[in-house]
Chains A and B, each alone.
Chain A
């Protein structure tokens, strides 16, 4: 059985999902790509918006979640850390 994801892993997955879609994604797609329930999505998204890691924009009547520069920097840092832990067997 897969281990429960830590909070930081969920945030990494969310930011990665946005980045993989070219830096912008619809909330529903983010929910599916990050394997989140609706409640989790709302909770984590509020946190990401509050910390200015992502921002919400409206395009043609749809809401899009866009990765900010700050969010990209954090994602880069988190991926370095994941790679470091993997390499050093942590």
Chain B
């Protein structure tokens, strides 16, 4: 079995990060589903479809992360015999296959999802550029097995570029209302920054998760507000 560079959350935070990630999954799936409906109904362009795919991939990645955490956090009772004595103790149980698959899926799906999100707002890229970026995503995932921060640095870069490109695009259109979405993307970007340094300070994992949660809750608020404004415009 390959050596993994694993960084765990503080013991007292076990399970709570699963709850936080579950909230993120719900938010992402809601927006993905609605965005897909937009694409099917309006068919004005493919951006709603790519946004739906992006958010769906991110939701899947969180599901994979929950699977990995679940296999790590699950404690089982083990009995060991040493001579006439037997000892019963609690230890972490890990299912290697589930762990490896979940570990890989979480990272690849996250980076793919973030790259798709970046593609929504950026200029159209050539086929060779897309192939190159896929290669970098796979390399980053592979490197993160031994250096966990490689994944978070890549995710940070993709999110930062997405946020910047989105702000640029919205400034060109003169849309002030979209600053809130830029702030939401910015918070999710910031959370990746905290995750890079969790080896130095375990509590940064908690802060990162909290910032990420706020980012996704803000995303949910923006989405519901957009629906409300749409309904209100119709009622008026």
**Are A and B subunits of one complex?**
yes
Binding site secondary structure of chain B = helix
- Contact A79 B35, beta carbon cutoff 8 Å: no
A–B Cβ pairs within 8 angstroms, 28 of them: A8-B43, A8-B44, A9-B42, A72-B234, A75-B234, A80-B227, A80-B230, A80-B231, A80-B234, A81-B37, A82-B230, A83-B227, A83-B233, A84-B223, A84-B230, A85-B38, A85-B44, A85-B47, A87-B222, A87-B223, A87-B225, A88-B178, A88-B181, A89-B121, A89-B170, A89-B178, A90-B51, A90-B120
Q: Mark A57-90, 1 if CB is under 8 A from B, else 0.
A: 0000000000000001001111111111111111
Least CB distance from A78 to B in Å reads 7
Seen from chain A, the residues whose Cβ lies within 8 Å of a Cβ on chain B are 6, 8-9, 19, 72, 75-90
Give which listed residue, B41, B51, B229, B234, contacts A88 with CB less than 8 A: B51
B169 within 8 A of A: yes
The distance in angstroms between the C-alpha atoms of A9 and B48, with both chains bound, is 16
Residues of B within 8 A of A87 (CB): 177-178, 181, 222-223, 225-226
The distance in angstroms between the C-alpha atoms of A81 and B229, with both chains bound, is 10
Q: 16 more A-B contacts (CB under 8 A) besides A83-B226, A90-B120?
A: A6-B44, A8-B44, A72-B234, A76-B234, A78-B42, A79-B233, A80-B227, A80-B230, A81-B37, A81-B38, A81-B41, A84-B38, A88-B178, A89-B166, A90-B35, A90-B51
Among A72, A78, A79, A85, chain B packs the most CB atoms within 10 A around the CB of A85
Seen from chain B, the residues whose Cβ lies within 8 Å of a Cβ on chain A are 34-35, 37-38, 41-45, 47-48, 51, 120-121, 166, 169-170, 173, 175, 177-178, 181, 222-223, 225-227, 229-231, 233-235
Least CB distance from B202 to A in Å reads 35
Give which listed residue, B121, B181, B229, B235, contacts A83 with CB less than 8 A: B229
Binding site secondary structure of chain A = helix
Residues of B within 8 A of A79 (CB): 230-231, 233-234
The distance in angstroms between the C-alpha atoms of A77 and B34, with both chains bound, is 11
Give which listed residue, A6, A75, A76, A84, contacts B43 with CB less than 8 A: A6
- Contact A84 B44, beta carbon cutoff 8 Å: no
Q: A83-B227, A84-B227 are in contact. Are A19 and B234 (CB under 8 A)?
A: yes
- Contact B230 A9, beta carbon cutoff 8 Å: no
Among A8, A79, A87, chain B packs the most CB atoms within 10 A around the CB of A87
Closest to B233 in A: A79
